Amino acid sequence: MKNLLLITLSVPLIFACSDKKESPRTPKTPVKSDALIIGDPLDCGLDSLLIFPLGSSYYPDVTEPEEEEINASPQVQGYSGTISTRSKQIQFSANTVSYFDSNASIEYVNEKTEDYDIRNLLFYNMFTQETHPLVLDSLHILSFALHKEYDRDLIFYRVVRNDYNEDLKYNNLDPVMLYISDLDGSNFTQITPENEHFLDYTYYPETQSIMIKTILDSDGSKSFLSNDETSFSSMKIMEPAKAKEIFSKDLKKSLRSYLK
């Protein structure tokens, strides 16, 4: 009888513990912050140049660190309170897994786009001690790649300008634009339109040009899907400028009529 009573009492306790473990966490809402954090410099092998990322956290509050952060960080062993770990993540990491720019000699990505917004780059010359920002306003840099295989050394950037889907973040779900600059960040030039999502490009050495593929939100769903309309444009690699669309709007309009 005692055993039966113990079993009866333990059942609701088991379910209660199970429910407690599986209860979902309250999703955090991004907070607008004007506090810019300068991250650690990147030595990209550009002679005397160092590149510093400049950004902020979407969640600039003091937060509980994730369990893996506690285990991986010797300075927080024996952690018994709240600490802030956000500022350490304003950084680019060398991309060694899934390349956005497979033609690049090396590519750097913001691996924490859901948590951190990198808004600018600072270029510092160690010989002259001169420094300058990539832009004088603010944008959102997802990745950048170095190219030394052309007759002109360049940096390709994947940049977001607008929070297109209005989720208070700037990431791959928004229209990603292609920008190009020289290795020191000068001549920073927009290549693809703001309302199109940059996907990929192909280099043609015979003409020293790149063919750029983008996708449009043709159904107005505030997202870029495989069934949305694609577009192709071309640009001379030695003369970075806004790419010229290959197929005219009139041609596309007539082709659409055949699909109805």
- Give CA–CA dist 147/107, Å, rounded: 9
| Residue 180 belongs to a domain | yes
Nearest to 120 by CA among 37, 219, 225, 210: 37
| Residue 167 belongs to a domain | yes
| Residue 185 belongs to a domain | yes
| Residue 254 belongs to a domain | no
- Give CA–CA dist 112/114, Å, rounded: 5
The answer to whether 215 touches 229, Cβ cutoff 8 Å, is yes
184 vs 70: which has the higher pLDDT: 184
Given pLDDT bands bounded at 50, 70 and 90, which one contains residue 252? confident
| pLDDT for the residue numbered 96 | 73
pLDDT digits (tens, 9 = 90+) for 59-99: 876 444 455 544 554 443 443 444 344 445 788 888 877 67
| pLDDT for the residue numbered 55 | 92
For the chain, the domain total comes to: 1
Among the residue ranges 123-132, 170-179, 209-218, 250-259, the one predicted with the least confidence is 250-259
| Residue 45 belongs to a domain | yes
| Residue 166 belongs to a domain | yes
| pLDDT for the residue numbered 36 | 72
pLDDT digits (tens, 9 = 90+) for 27-60: 567 766 666 789 999 888 888 899 999 998 888 7
Q: Taking the model in full, what pTM does it have?
A: 0.78
| Residue 44 belongs to a domain | yes
**99: containing domain:** 40-72+82-191
| Residue 197 belongs to a domain | no
